[in-house]
């Protein structure tokens, strides 16, 4: 069934694909993981993220649940990544060698972004238009009004993750 143009999307396929592709590319650059292993890892990670996000995906409020969906490596491996990596026989010490020691990956409806290091710049991997017809929601939210006319929204409001 085709979706109405401009309406909210309930699926998270492109966002998860962007996140999985990014983590897989980090593993690929080190050359220690075969293409076949990468495919198995990608499939396992895609499945794990879809399951993890199932009841925490709010296209009408993209930043609601952002902390829950955040993938984090901060000298401690994110359990979703280590679980997917175990499918291809990668141990935690190997993962720590292959991936950055500090990585934050935000997977939100309409946007996937990441930061390497605590003070690194936030880079957008995937961005889609979240514009909705005003009639379907009554009015624009304050944040939507603020962001109208901006091509790249400020990321200062995203960091609400506590450890």
**Considering its fold, how many domains does the chain have in total?**
1
**Position 6 in a domain:** no
CA-based nearest residue to 68, from 43, 91, 51, 90: 51
> How many Å apart are CA 18 and CA 113, to the nearest integer?
9
Residue with tokens 């939100």: 108
Q: Does residue 94 fall inside a structural domain?
A: yes
Domain extent for 110:
12-127
114: in domain: yes
Residues 10 and 59 sit within 8 Å (Cβ to Cβ): yes
Q: What is the pLDDT of residues 63-99, one digit of tens each?
A: 899 999 999 999 899 999 999 999 999 999 999 999 9
How far apart (Å, rounded) are the C-alpha atoms in residues 67 and 127? 18
Q: Is 133 within the bounds of a domain?
A: no
The model carries a pTM of 0.74
Average pLDDT, the chain: 80
pLDDT at res. 10: 66
Q: What is the DSSP string of 40-77?
A: HHHHHHHHHHHHHHTTS--TTSTTTTHHHH-EEEESS-
Q: What is the pLDDT of residues 120-160, one digit of tens each?
A: 999 999 999 865 443 333 333 333 333 333 333 344 344 44
CATH code of 101's domain: 3.90.640.90
Pick from 116, 120, 119, 111: which is nearest to 151 by CA? Answer: 111
Q: What is the mean pLDDT of residues 21-26?
A: 96
């Amino acid at each position: 069934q085709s979706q109405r143009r401009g309406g909210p999307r309930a699926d998270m396929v492109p966002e998860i694909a962007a996140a999985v592709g990014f983590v897989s590319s980090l593993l690929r650059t080190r050359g220690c993981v075969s293409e076949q292993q990468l495919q198995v890892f990608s499939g396992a990670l895609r499945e794990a993220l879809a399951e993890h996000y199932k009841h925490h995906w709010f296209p009408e409020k993209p930043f609601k649940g952002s902390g829950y969906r955040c993938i984090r490596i901060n000298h401690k491996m994110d359990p979703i990544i280590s679980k997917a990596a175990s499918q291809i026989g990668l141990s935690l010490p190997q993962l720590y060698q292959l991936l950055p020691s500090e990585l934050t990956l935000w997977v939100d409806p309409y946007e996937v972004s990441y930061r390497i290091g605590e003070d690194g710049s936030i880079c957008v991997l995937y961005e889609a238009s979240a514009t909705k017809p005003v009639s379907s929601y009554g009015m624009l939210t304050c944040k939507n009004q603020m962001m109208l006319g901006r091509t790249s929204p400020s990321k200062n409001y995203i960091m609400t993750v506590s450890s």
